[in-house]
Amino acid sequence: MNKSRVWSFLLLIALIVLVSCDSEERSPNIILIMTDDQGFETIGAYGGESYQTPVLDNMAATGIRFNQAHATPVCTPTRLAIMSGKYNSRNYTEFGKMDPDVYTFGNLFQDAGYATFIGGKWQLGGGLNAPYEFGFDEYALWQLTRRPNRYPNPGLEINGEEVDFKNGEYGPDIINDHVLDFIDRHEEEPFFVYYPMNLTHWPFEPTPDSPDWDPTLRRDHEEEKVIPGLHTEPKYFGDMVQYADKLVGKVISKLEELELRENTLIIFTSDNGTARGVSSIINGEEFIGAKLSSNEAGTHVALIANWPSVIPEGLVNNDLIGFTYFFPTLAAVAGIEIPEDLELDGVNFAPVLYGEDVKLPDWLYMWWYRNNDPEGPGDEFARTHRYKYYRDGRFYDLSKDPLEENIPISLDQLSGNQKKVLLKLQKIIDENTRPEFYDNQIKSE
């Protein structure tokens, strides 16, 4: 063999090795998006008719839509449950704070070598170092150390600094830009992005796409205050829903631009139902949001997952999905082993994403007390698809009374099957409740 042929042969071998290395399977990127106060009825893919959500509708059509995902009906408990994989009965301390000893999915991904980022609403206290301690390499957040404006001219916390914007910037745009920049800078390595978006929580205000967008609004406010007509009247709620959809589209476009879309799982959900009193139309009927209520209008949220190279198109799943499920599911998707001492409460539903026929639990348990006080807003219950039992004795047939508007079924009038369900749900509550939490509760004589 002459020298030229030898060199050609060696070059061919080098190319083969290079291609082989490039084609080695890389851990998937994961982006978890969670909007604020946006019930399932606001999404077109679920039959929502009041707002345009083309990006999310397409995600559902080309991925999987979960029809029975349920969050706690208020912010902080959901944020703690999704990040820790544990019921709030095990680790909830107070509204707006998270125990610094909690090991989050941020810690898990960071320990596994992922680049990690969180952007959006924090509301878990701990100071400027807290996001780092909970496993995030970088962050762009609102309500970490204070509560200034969140929409026009916002005050944010970005990578250890409080930053105020007063030149007509829009908070959700700033945070979205940080998400896109993080993806840009980490395209060569696996990344985990947790994006608990500020939208669509009140104050209901114009977005930059609204005809009456005002870049001077709230410019000189040192804190978020009530502005008459914007605090509770949902005039601009629809604009905010549609802007959130647009921001999700920007994330997808960035992934496509970098040719990362095929290897990225995107999950969309929300932290609780729509704000109380906000009326929307779903499947031809009015549906009124009921955040802070334990019924369907307070807990039922959208859950859409899209991963072009893995999730078959057009899947629909009707299993009950709780927010403690996310931690073990994301770990399984990434192939990360969960530390044995964590003792998570959630169930791994990753096989469902792959189109596998698996059996998930036919029940959900929920403990939420906003102020960690049995006398304050809160509830404890367990449910199946059809029946729901509260610790205080309320029992509902959700097939006949989905919003729990009628008097609960008397426990001495239950059928034989209903009694079996009651015993099952009571056992679930007994196994997961917080011991002695109700001991000091004032009881009526």
Give the pLDDT confidence score for residue 13 in this predicted structure: 42
The phi and psi torsions of 172 (rounded to 5 degrees) equal: -60, -30
Q: Give the number of residues written for the chain.
A: 445
Q: Which amino acid is at 244?
A: A
Mean pLDDT, range 306-319, rounded to an integer: 97
- CA 245, CA 247: separation in Å to the nearest integer? 5
pLDDT in tens, 353-404: 999 999 999 999 999 999 999 998 999 999 999 999 999 999 999 999 999 9
The phi and psi torsions of 270 (rounded to 5 degrees) equal: -145, 160
Give the pLDDT confidence score for residue 402 in this predicted structure: 95
What rounded mean pLDDT belongs to the chain? 93
pLDDT in tens, 164-182: 999 999 999 999 999 999 9
β-bridge pairing 264-270 and 300-306 = antiparallel
Q: Is 33 helix (H, G, I), strand (E, B) or coil?
A: strand
Mean pLDDT, range 424-442, rounded to an integer: 90
- CA 61, CA 52: separation in Å to the nearest integer? 15
The structural domains of the chain, ordered by start, are: 26-365 (3.40.720.10), 384-432 (no CATH)
Q: What is the DSSP annotation of 46-91?
A: GTB-SS--HHHHHHHHTSEEEEEEE--SSHHHHHHHHHHSS-HHHH
Which run of H or E residues covers position 108?
Answer: helix 105-111
- CA 128, CA 62: separation in Å to the nearest integer? 39
Which run of H or E residues covers position 296?
Answer: helix 296-299
**Would you place residue 41 in the very low, low, confident or very high pLDDT band (cuts 50, 70, 90)?**
very high
pLDDT in tens, 189-219: 999 999 999 999 999 999 999 999 999 998 8
Preceding peptide of 200 cis, ω within 30°: yes
Bridge partners, 320 (sequence order):
68
Give the pLDDT confidence score for residue 234 in this predicted structure: 86
Q: Which amino acid is at 201?
A: H
Residue from 233, 122, 105, 235 nearest 171 by CA: 122
pLDDT at 100 over 80: yes
pLDDT in tens, 126-158: 999 999 999 999 999 999 999 999 999 999 999
**Would you place residue 442 in the very low, low, confident or very high pLDDT band (cuts 50, 70, 90)?**
low
**Would you place residue 441 in the very low, low, confident or very high pLDDT band (cuts 50, 70, 90)?**
low
Q: Is 395 helix (H, G, I), strand (E, B) or coil?
A: strand
Q: Is 234 helix (H, G, I), strand (E, B) or coil?
A: helix
Give the pLDDT confidence score for residue 5 in this predicted structure: 47
